[in-house]
Amino acid sequence: MTEKEQFITQLKSRTKKFAVDTIGFCDSLKTCKASSVITYQLVKSATSTGANYRAACRARSKNEFFSKICIVVEEADESEYWLEIIKDAKLSNEIDELERLLKEALEINKIMSKAKSSSYA
């Protein structure tokens, strides 16, 4: 396996783990109307990040890859947004896990943004 193939495989695993961890984290949110709406949005964006990255890896052209990776960047950024809302609204007592997920969302966003800008050139 080439270095690039290893990186892609690791990133697929990382985005999947981010989705699974986010789903688990949502169980820690305080029970209220806002939490149910935010949980729905966060789970959608976190799972979509990994799903669309996998789709980007199967792209049949540079244009298709660029299109999919743009979606990945949007979804990773949206995940980061919802996690920030949870933090600011104090909807979870799991502060360490929240901070870890925020950091992971930011790192995924940076990696995918770099892939997006590199593929456009």
Q: How far is CA 108 from CA 1, 3, 17, 112, 114, in A?
A: 23, 19, 12, 6, 10
Q: Are 61 and 76 in contact (CB under 8 A)?
A: no
Phi, psi dihedrals of residue 29, rounded to the nearest 5°: -70, 145
The Cα–Cα gap between 28 and 98 comes to 10
**Mind listing the pLDDT tens digit for each residue in 47-102?**
999 999 999 999 999 999 999 999 999 999 999 999 999 999 999 999 999 999 99
Considering the four listed CATH numbers 3.40.50.1100, 1.10.287.1080, 3.20.20.70, 1.20.1440.60, the one that applies to the domain covering 3-120 is: 1.20.1440.60
**Mind listing the pLDDT tens digit for each residue in 23-52?**
999 999 999 999 999 999 999 999 999 999
Domain coordinates of the chain in residue numbers?
3-120
pTM of the model: 0.93
